[in-house]
Amino acid sequence: MTSTETAQAAALVCIGRDADVLEAVNQSGVELAVWQRDPDPAWAGWLESLPVDAWPACRLELSPEDAAATLDASFDARGTPCGPERLSLAADVARLTAMFAAYAQAPRVRLRLEAITGDACRRWHRDCVPLRLICTYRGPGTQWVPPTLGAAVLSRPDDEAPQAMPLQAAGVALFKGCGWPGQPQDEGVVHRSPRIAGTGVARLVLVLDAIWPPHKERHS
C-alpha cells in the first residue's frame, strides 16, 4: 500500500491520498482509515451556490447496484436541481456506497445524506456499529482524537479537545465501532460533529452503515 500510515500506541490510524488506504480498515489494530481527497469542482461550487433546502438529502436502505437509480429518484423528490453537477455528486455517493459495502461485506447499506445546521452528535463518542463511513461534502468535517487520548476525552464528553483533528471536506473516513467482530467495547476512535449552531454554517454529510442479514455477520 502506497498510502501514509500513522500509528497511535496499539491502535492505528491510517491516512493517505489514495483510495486504497481504506483497505487498511480490514487489518488488525486499525481503528480508522482516512482517504484525504479534495472536493470535486464538478459539484463543490454547485453546492455553494444552492440554498440549503435545495441540497440533496435522503435516508435510504439500498444495495450498491441500486444506488444510482435510488439516489436520482430521491434527489428528484427533494427538489434538487437537475444537471451535470447533481449527476456527478450522485455518482460519487454511489461509488462510496459500493466501496463501503465491499469493505463491510454487506449486501445492503443504510445511507443518510443530510443537511446539518445545528450541533448533531455534539458530544465525544465511539460508534456502536461495526463499521461506519463518514464523508462531509460541504462544511467543516468530523473531528477525531488520536486513540491514546480517547479515554481522557470521553471522560469529559462535552468539553473542547485541543488535540482534536478535523476531517477535511470530501475526505472519506471508515470508523470501526464496537460492533466490529472481536472489537472490545472500549476501543474505536473517539469523534464528534463540529459545533456549528448559531454560526450560519451548514454541512452536507454522508453516513453509511452496513445492513447484514439476520443471524449473519461480517467475517473477520
Please indicate, yes or no, if residue 158 is contained in any of the structural domains: yes
Please indicate, yes or no, if residue 219 is contained in any of the structural domains: no
Q: Crossing angle of helices 67-78/84-104, nearest 10°? A: 130
What domain range includes position 68? 33-211
> Which one, of 208, 210, 175, 169, lies nearest residue 191 by Cα?
175
Whether the Cβ atoms of residue 30 and residue 176 lie closer than 8 Å to each other: yes
What is the rounded distance in angstroms from the CA atom of residue 159 to the CA atom of residue 194?
Answer: 12
Please indicate, yes or no, if residue 14 is contained in any of the structural domains: no
pLDDT at 38 over 60: yes
Residue 61's beta-bridge partner residues?
110
Please indicate, yes or no, if residue 11 is contained in any of the structural domains: no
pTM for the model: 0.90
Give the total number of structural domains in the chain.
1
Q: Crossing angle of helices 84-104/41-49, nearest 10°? A: 120
Please indicate, yes or no, if residue 220 is contained in any of the structural domains: no
120 in helix, strand or coil?
Answer: coil
1 — pLDDT class (breaks 50, 70, 90): very low
pLDDT at 41 over 80: yes
107 — pLDDT class (breaks 50, 70, 90): very high
The helix (run of H) or strand (run of E) holding residue 67 is: helix 67-78
118 — pLDDT class (breaks 50, 70, 90): confident
On average, the pLDDT of the chain sits at 89
Q: What is the pLDDT of residue 28?
A: 87
Please indicate, yes or no, if residue 85 is contained in any of the structural domains: yes
Please indicate, yes or no, if residue 22 is contained in any of the structural domains: no
Please indicate, yes or no, if residue 23 is contained in any of the structural domains: no
Q: What share of residues in the chain are helix, strand, coil (percent, to 5)? A: 30, 25, 45
